[in-house]
A and B are shown apart, each in its own frame.
Chain A
Amino acid sequence: MTKKIRNLKEFSTSNDRYEGANLMCPGCSHNIIVREVLNATDNPVLIATATGCLEVCTAVYPYTSWDVSWIHIGFENASTAIASAQVMYEVLKRKGRLPESTMRAIEEGREPKFVAFGGDGATYDIGFQWLSGCFERGHDFMYVCLDNEVYANTGGQRSSSTPIGASTTTSPAGNVSYGEKMMKKSMVEIMADHGAPYVAQVAPNKWKDLVKKIQKGFETKGPVYINAMSACTTEWKHAPENTIDVSELGVESCVWPLYEIINERDEHGIIYSTKLNITYRPKNKIPVEEYLAAQPRFKHLFKPENRHIIDLWQKMVDIRWENLQKREEAGV
């Protein structure tokens, strides 16, 4: 049963399963995204969180910010933890041993939903094997990557999601370096290529688009991957009050295109068709430069000797945007 949502005011107060009073930085996108995901449904939600900012800031004993069942094991295995909890759910349901409250929820048409949250370190890097395994096995759960393009929890080291030119503590800009040398890994495409029935990229500023995709994901049987832009005040070095503005620049410049990939497949994983939909098209695509200029992690790119990296960025974004449109048009 999909939750009906009318406006932002109603949406933002529509449930209270994640406590805002936690240790996250002011202006952190993680908090916004988690609230948006949880508010997208009235069904019970069970959550696993990878080691990272979200985990260390929201469940510091004897406190917890979570009014849903929540588990943290390690940096790499949030996907396996929640996927296995979902398997246990199916077994106990079959055996008639689910707790009464859960049976009641099912009778009311509110089946529990299983969600893992991981940062880009936990997703693109250390936890990739576990994530890949869970998707290959076809577990029925949603994985949300809170992608802030850096190991923020450990003090800002590069990850394989860190984009070219970003200055991090392990890819610092200096007299002879412009920062990170490699392009960002294409996680959305990689997860879609696992044959996942639903994969989408979202940004917290486009909340309606995000919620629609989360709801679609919850209605999908099988593994769902959501890549969420999560602007990081600490490591992107913008002011806390600018989080949504920076996100907006990311979407409007097509650095962070909003789209979804739907693989129509059967229970054995045979894919009958793949469809890519661009879900938001900027009226006037702004230059990448504006997005970069809003974040001091790219400040050094504006020195004359580094201008070519900004050009490279623009080229990369244009090629990718064009490619997405071609795929959408061709229906593949």
Chain B
Amino acid sequence: MAEKMQLNEVEVWDGNMAAAQALRQAQIDVVAAYPITPSTPIVQNYSKFLADGYVDGEFIMVESEHGAMSGCVGAAAAGGRVATATSSQGFALMIEVLYQASGMRLPIVLTVVNRALAAPLNVNGDHSDMYLGRDAGWINLCSYNPQEAYDMTLMAFKIGEDLNVRLPVMVHQDGFLCSHTAQNVRPLQDEEAYGFIGEYKPVNSMLDVANPVTHGVQTEEDWHFEHKARQHNDLMNSVSTIKKVFAEFEKLTGRKYDLLHKYKMDDAEVAIVALGTTVESAEIAADRMREKGVKAGVLGIRVLRPFPFKEIQEALKNVKAIAAMDRSAPGGTFGMLFNEIGAAMLQSGKTPVLLNYIYGLGGRDTTIAHLTDIYEQLDRCAKSGKSEYPLQQFIGLRGPKLSFY
């Protein structure tokens, strides 16, 4: 049994330490990992916990991120709790196996410290990796600060391992902005965390030698569709488990989470919809706009997959102008959030002005001034009732303004 770590009521942790502490408290049986900036400290912290006896599992320091996720799949199929961490190129290298993990219904937890994808090579934060993995069949939880990185990582195990779910879970946090920024974090004590997550109950363990199982079969057109449909169905229905776990966590800690993070949305007429640390910056910008009499709100997506379609429709039903903020190179079209928010609004029958802002690529700073500028634009659109600006604009880009449509 691992040594318990006595934690203070409030610890000063960056996002990486917060995630690493959650992994330690999850009593993981096998971690297979390969380091990559900016998630490297998760792996390093975990190694130190292991060296000091605070972890009772095994740590396989593999030769690549593809090997890391391959190891996670093999170990998870053998019937124990498994997790790893990665970013950017490492995430891209894992991508093949991310689909294998969800297709085989293995509740692996992956903490993703979001970072740009090369080329050009860049170690800083944006959401290119998150967007790359959005169709991999994983539950995607988003955290905006170290406290949330800790909370979401603990809850990820309980959600993914639920017998009605049995799917892998990614927990996202912004590279450097969250991963390397120390803040106050209120942790659970080890016993509380163990009690919350609970014992791992294996399903179809390869190690039950009296009951052999076959993982990762071949299917063609005769069965593949049914397998993927079932997987999709269970991913869509995981919402009820996510809500249940959020509620249990609130009971334990008083910290309330929902599929969406809403800030001053009750009477909002203009809203920024975003992911990551930008959500908190947008809250400050919204406060400033409120002082000027603009009814500004912020909608953070907490659960990116399964996508909270109905809840988004509900949250935005009275909003007149919306900014969908995409922190990923759009690759020849609109950003993912723009497209998905747009689809939700179209089906809701409401026709607010919807603009797409591409921002913060490769770690480019996004300031409160940028965000208040966006609110100003939204306000003008809300007042006139029509789009006064190009549909897609690049924010904070050096040189001439860049916009499309």
Contacts and interface: CB of A to CB of B under 8 A. Distances in A.
Interface string A58-95: 01111010111111111011001111111111111011
Contact of A89 (B32, B57, B78, B217): B78
Contacts, number: 168
Nearest to B59: A87
A137 B60 contact: yes
A84 B217 contact: no
Which of A59, A80, A94, A105 has the most chain B CB within a 10 Å cutoff? A80
A87 B212 CA distance: 18
A130 B75 contact: no
Given A46-B207, A80-B62, A130-B63, A87 B216 contact: no
Given A88-B30, A99-B79, A112-B207, A59 B217 contact: yes
Contact of A81 (B74, B79, B218): B74
B377 interface: no
Interface string B29-55: 110100000000000000000000000
Contacts of A90: 58
B64 interface: yes
Contacts of B217: 59-61, 64, 72
Nearest to B61: A137
A102 interface: yes
A71 B74 contact: yes
Contacts of A86: 78
Interface residues on A, range: 35 or more
With most chain A CB atoms within 10 A of its CB, the pick from B29, B56, B64, B72 is B29
B62 A133 contact: yes
A88 B207 contact: yes
Contacts of A44: 209
Given A88-B29, A129-B63, A73 B70 contact: yes
Interface string B212-228: 11111111100100010
A99 B60 contact: no
Contacts of B206: 46, 69-71, 85
Given A48-B74, A61-B223, A84-B70, A74 B100 contact: yes
Given A74-B97, A85-B207, A88-B30, A59 B214 contact: yes
A99 B208 contact: yes
Contact of B80 (A67, A70, A88): A88
A80 B216 contact: no
A91 B212 contact: no
A101 interface: yes
A61 B207 contact: no
Contacts of A97: 80
A67 B74 CA distance: 18
Contacts of A24: none
A314 to B, nearest CB: 39
B56 A95 contact: yes
Interface of A: 44, 46, 48, 55-56, 59-62, 64, 66-74, 76-77, 80-92, 94-95, 97-99, 101-102, 105, 112, 129-130, 132-133, 136-137
Sorted nearest first, the 4 A-B pairs with minimum C-beta distance are A101-B210, A81-B74, A133-B63, A84-B74
Given A99-B210, A112-B209, 7 more contacts: A46-B78, A70-B214, A73-B70, A81-B74, A84-B72, A84-B73, A99-B202
Interface of B: 29-30, 32, 56-58, 60-64, 66-67, 70-80, 82, 96-97, 100, 202, 205-220, 223, 227
29 contacts: A46-B78, A59-B218, A61-B223, A66-B212, A69-B212, A70-B212, A71-B206, A72-B215, A74-B70, A74-B96, A77-B66, A77-B67, A77-B70, A80-B67, A81-B73, A81-B74, A88-B76, A91-B30, A91-B80, A92-B78, A92-B207, A99-B79, A99-B202, A99-B210, A99-B211, A101-B208, A101-B209, A101-B210, A132-B63
